[in-house]
Amino acid sequence: MIVYLRLLKESLSFAINALRNNKLRTLLSLLGVTIGIFSIIAVLAAVDSLDKKITKDLSSLDKNTIYLMKFSFGPSEIPQWKREQFPNVKYDEYVGLKNSMNDTDQVGYQLFVNRESLKYDSKTVSDVNIIPASSEMVDIDGVSFDKGRFYNESESNSGTAVVVLGYDIADGLFGTSDPIGKNIRLYGQRFTVIGVMAKQGAGFFGDSNDTSVYIPANFLRRMYGDSDAMTPVIVLKPVKGVDMDAYKAQIAQKLRAIRGMKAGEMDNFFINVLSGFTDFIDGILGQMNFVGWVISGFSLLVGGFGIANIMFVSVKERTNLIGIQKSLGAKNKFILFQFLFEAVILSVIGGIIGLLMVWGIAFALTKMLDFEFVLSIGNVILGTTLAAIIGLISGILPAISAANLDPVEAIRTGM
């Protein structure tokens, strides 16, 4: 065991000397490993960061939550021209489903509308995400509060001019003063602030509650009717443990009955399950991982050739020393491990440089953007292991050639 530790120490010394005495040549040889490790770990770190962010953003939502609308969350076999003819879901259909659906925790109604500006006295906040929704959305979306409350069912049904502000919106309009009970202007109308949501942080899908406001959907319906400029969605949250296939079939049967559709007639709506959307996102992240591995594979291949090249040069430069070691009794196995360890150490050094580059970029992006890039311990171990494996594979042939040298010929050649 002591012999192998000394061998490892000598190999480390040779590797450091190679870096010190032939800096440019060694660094160019390590460049392939560095780029390869950087590429794959950067992709894995980015995917892990995105996955962590998506999981955090959707943590308040039940994955069985269903979004009933004229659009599909993912790819569809229905031709686009046919989908464009689908009607929007209607408020009456929301009421009908709310009163007739079994195994349902909540049924909500929401409109997707254009962004607007909010005003309070001389202050204006622009590009605000407006969420016109029914009162049930507070539970479906898992809204939490810094102060105040959400609007109740009566206020929702009557379309009362009340508003719940995101944390950043409230801070932009009111600063440190209490916004509850104050009036702001939106859509040219006065709205009374009844609540401020708790700070959430940036959302992966663009908006977060911090830059959004909730208002009763019926306020806009009362102003504009069921305008085509607004895209409605019915949101259903089933009870825990429900059979999702049977539940979706129940939704389809109820909505078809409300719309008076005939048997055999194709559904003109989409039942989007949130878990299906997350599976779709997971598929995209998996494809990103695969592409990253493919691209990095070429870099690692080039890096492997670079390590092999520098090790063959090292064998040639130390032929005389190898001959002396063997003449003094060094076994072939000792020479073999000596060069293998050196190849692994050089490759790991290249991998560590790549990991440091990933860490530096991740740290800088985390500081610059409102997004946390994560370089996990698992990815660091993976990167180091990959580098070691590349070094091991690349160093096999040079190490074998060194171990098989005849001591007399090695000494004569090196003189």
Show which of 214, 247, 268 is a domain's final residue.
Answer: 268
Give φ, ψ of 195 to 5 degrees: -165, 155
State both tokens at 246: 């049977």
Residue 231: which of 52, 53, 25, 86 has the closest Cα? 86
Is the same domain home to 223 and 196? Answer: yes
Show which of 268, 289, 305 is a domain's final residue.
Answer: 268
Is the same domain home to 191 and 317? Answer: no
Assess if residue 259 is contained within a domain.
yes
Are the C-beta atoms of 94 and 109 separated by less than 8 Å? yes
Domain that holds residue 354: 2-57+280-414
Q: Which residue has the tokens 């702001």?
A: 184
Q: With 0-12 CB in 10 A as exposed, 13-18 as middle and 19+ as buried, what is 332?
A: middle
Is the same domain home to 134 and 239? Answer: yes
Would you write out the chain's pLDDT as a tens digit for each of its 415 residues?
666 666 666 666 766 665 666 666 677 777 778 888 888 888 778 777 777 776 666 655 557 888 999 988 777 788 888 888 899 999 999 999 999 988 888 999 999 999 999 999 889 999 899 999 999 999 888 888 999 999 999 999 999 999 999 999 999 999 888 999 999 999 989 999 999 999 877 654 555 788 899 999 999 998 888 777 789 999 999 988 888 889 999 999 999 999 988 888 888 999 888 765 666 666 777 777 777 777 777 777 777 787 787 778 777 777 777 777 777 766 777 777 777 777 888 888 888 888 888 888 888 887 877 667 777 788 888 888 888 888 888 888 887 887 777 777 767 665 5
Residue 127: which of 114, 111, 141, 115 has the closest Cα? 115
Are the C-beta atoms of 191 and 184 separated by less than 8 Å? yes
Is the same domain home to 105 and 232? Answer: yes
Is the same domain home to 262 and 126? Answer: yes
Q: In this predicted structure, what is the pLDDT of residue 161?
A: 94
Assess if residue 67 is contained within a domain.
no
**Stretch (H or E) spanning 382:** helix 377-403
Q: In this predicted structure, what is the pLDDT of residue 181?
A: 92
Are the C-beta atoms of 336 and 400 separated by less than 8 Å? yes
Is the same domain home to 26 and 93? Answer: no
Is the same domain home to 151 and 28? Answer: no
DSSP string, 20-80: HHSHHHHHHHHHHHHHHHHHHHHHHHHHHHHHHHHHHHTTTS-TT-EEEESS-SS--SS-H
Q: Which residues contact 342 (CB under 8 A, 6 or more apart)?
A: 11, 12, 14, 15, 18, 311, 314, 395
Cα separations in angstroms, 105 against 134, 243, 244, 247, 279: 15, 14, 14, 12, 23
Is the same domain home to 225 and 126? Answer: yes
* Pairing between β-strand 123-133 and β-strand 212-216 as defined by DSSP bridges: parallel
Show which of 222, 245, 268 is a domain's final residue.
Answer: 268
Assess if residue 80 is contained within a domain.
no
Is the same domain home to 123 and 199? Answer: yes
Is the same domain home to 263 and 287? Answer: no
pTM exceeds 0.85, yes or no: no
Q: In this predicted structure, what is the pLDDT of residue 3?
A: 62
Q: In this predicted structure, what is the pLDDT of residue 85?
A: 87
Q: In this predicted structure, what is the pLDDT of residue 34?
A: 81
Q: In this predicted structure, what is the pLDDT of residue 193?
A: 95
Q: In this predicted structure, what is the pLDDT of residue 249?
A: 92
Cα separations in angstroms, 80 against 71, 76, 77, 292: 10, 9, 9, 32
Assess if residue 62 is contained within a domain.
no
Assess if residue 72 is contained within a domain.
no
Q: In this predicted structure, what is the pLDDT of residue 415?
A: 52
Assess if residue 75 is contained within a domain.
no
Is the same domain home to 294 and 160? Answer: no
Is the same domain home to 263 and 390? Answer: no
Q: Total domain count for the chain?
A: 2
